[in-house]
Chain A
Amino acid sequence: MVRLARDGRSLPEPTEVSRPFFEGALEGRFMIQRCPRDGAFFYPRARCPHCWRDDWTWVQACGRGTLYSFTIDRLGHDPTKAALAPFAIAIVTLEEGPRAVGQLVGCDFGQIRTGMAVEAVFEVFEPQDGGGPVPVLRFRPAP
């Protein structure tokens, strides 16, 4: 069961742990966690994925990264996004190290290359259930 936007597409539902990421995203900041021993990690979790300690802190990532790989989803495998297909999905290696996934926007499919420089942007949607606006992570070619 996923939360839906007013236009019907699936949206993330923040938890207590991940809320600072989504709150930061609404203000245009890409927040990730940093462990004093093991460095940055993403997606948000209650404990570091390496040492399992909880003395990490939220830090702002620079938002830049390189495109690790991508595909053009011709069908829209998520039924809530079938009408939006085709769209590009990219896995990005952030400058801080962790990987993140998002749709690649702001360019023609023919311009997309593995290894290209990209930057994070957040697209904001209104959920069907009337809660506040929900940000979704996207990437676009870096200038």
Chain B
Amino acid sequence: MGKRAAAIVGVSEWKPARRWDQPLFDLDAFARLGAELIDDSGLEPGDIDGFVVNAVREAPMLAPSGVAEHLGLRSRFNERVDLGGASACGMVWRAAAAIEAGVCQAVLVMCPSIPRPQHPGEAAGGAATSSRPIYLGSDAWGSPQAQFEIPAGLVGATPSYAMVARLYMDRFGLEEATLAKIAVAQRHNAQANPDAIFHGRPITVEDVMASPMIADPLKRLEVVMPVFGGAAVLVTSAEVARRAKHRPAWVAGFGEEMTHRSLTAMPDLLHSPLCGSAARAFQMAGATPGAMDTAQIYDCYTITVLRSLEDAGFCKLGQGGDFVRERDLRHDGDFPLNTNGGQLGFGQAGVAGGMTHVIEAVRQIQGRAGDRQLRRCDLAFVNGNGGMMSEQVSLVLEGA
């Protein structure tokens, strides 16, 4: 049995969309997510004494105090977390650790990722941005990536993950159709999730194999679809959790590790920092990978899932291909993986993409997963993966 100091008691997740017609400033999006977490958990705004966010575009500096002010909080835990796709998992364990330390009792963990209202100057076509999003902030003066990665063309994430896949295929003989099966299984799961961006659009292995090559060997249908959306969870102490409406999902164990920012500097492309972060999460939770009722694995690409299954300990290095071929990864299969469709099926709404895995684990534990509800779900593994398999955060969530 793992920790019982802090639990996720409420969730909110916006239906993703390719176009977003109701822009909000981040500060106002936090207020909307906060209200939704209050409704979902049955708690009161007066219970809240902490928050964690990623970016606050209206006030990038001194950002937390701006959040406290905007939400009218007298807040004791005021945190901003910058871990890319691992942000959501990183935010959850920081909130849980602060609660366990007695710093605070109820923390809003919020990841909106939608357009802001347009400045009149932008609407007129002015305001050139100084940085391109595809550079992921690495184009600043003095940045090593600006001097070596960008000139080589190694930008965004897809070419980097493609190189992980290439090395893996060459070393272990993995076939492209095996990777494709991951995308197909998750798309199957998305058919049981009316909110998923690909609900109503199942695919086959042949579809994946026929989709255009983006960066060899990764094809279009193995790459997440960027969408707008938002997601948030409420983490509370055991005492506050007793007053909440739903079954608490205890943050039973967690771990975090990183070694590099760019793939060039990753010590071993086939041994990510997830190995350490997952091992510590399982140890803290007093559980093993084999005891998990579901795995919610960060899935920016198919190869990310296969490699993460290995590094998290569900199988050994080099066995991922056999594991994916032999197991049924669907929500109604013998290894229910990314049961809401994952990001490949649901869509990736910025840092909220990492939160979709956390929220699906909580829904399964709380028995609120609709048509894809597992018969039994008391233990869930969730991982967050940022950048180039660089930020690695693991959670074990437990229903009791």
Contact = CB atoms under 8 A, between A and B. Distances in A.
Interface residues of A, number: 39
Interface residues of B, number: 42
Interface string A120-143: 000000000000000011000000
A70 B166 contact: yes
A81 B148 contact: no
B170 A114 contact: yes
Given A68-B269, A72-B216, A89-B159, A10 B148 contact: no
Nearest to B161: A71
B166 A69 contact: yes
B142 A71 contact: no
Contacts, number: 114
Nearest to B263: A91
6 tightest Cβ-Cβ pairs between the two chains A and B: A71-B162, A69-B167, A69-B163, A77-B156, A12-B147, A101-B264
Given A70-B163, A81-B153, A102-B152, A18 B147 contact: yes
Given A15-B142, A77-B155, A102-B152, A43 B166 contact: no
Interface stretch (B8-16, B130-138, B227-235, B277-285): B130-138
B215 interface: yes
A136 B151 contact: yes
A103 B263 CA distance: 14
Contact of B153 (A13, A73, A91): A73
B150 A10 contact: yes
Given A43-B144, A77-B158, A103-B152, 4 more contacts: A1-B139, A45-B144, A89-B163, A137-B148
B164 interface: yes
Given A68-B269, A114-B170, A101 B135 contact: no
Nearest to A2: B139
A75 interface: yes
A102 B265 CA distance: 13
8 contacts: A68-B269, A72-B215, A99-B264, A101-B148, A101-B262, A101-B264, A103-B152, A136-B152
B265 A99 contact: yes
A77 B134 CA distance: 7
A54 B317 CA distance: 38
A91 B170 CA distance: 15
A74 interface: yes
Interface of A: 1-2, 10-15, 18, 43, 45, 68-79, 81, 84, 87, 89, 91, 99-103, 109, 113-115, 136-137
Contact of B164 (A12, A45, A69): A69
B220 to A, nearest CB: 10
Contact of B166 (A2, A14, A101, A114): A114
B213 interface: yes
Given A10-B150, A14-B147, A100 B216 contact: no
Contacts of B130: 1
Contacts of A136: 151-152
A1 B131 contact: yes
A40 to B, nearest CB: 14
A74 B142 contact: no
A89 to B, nearest CB: 5
A14 B151 CA distance: 12
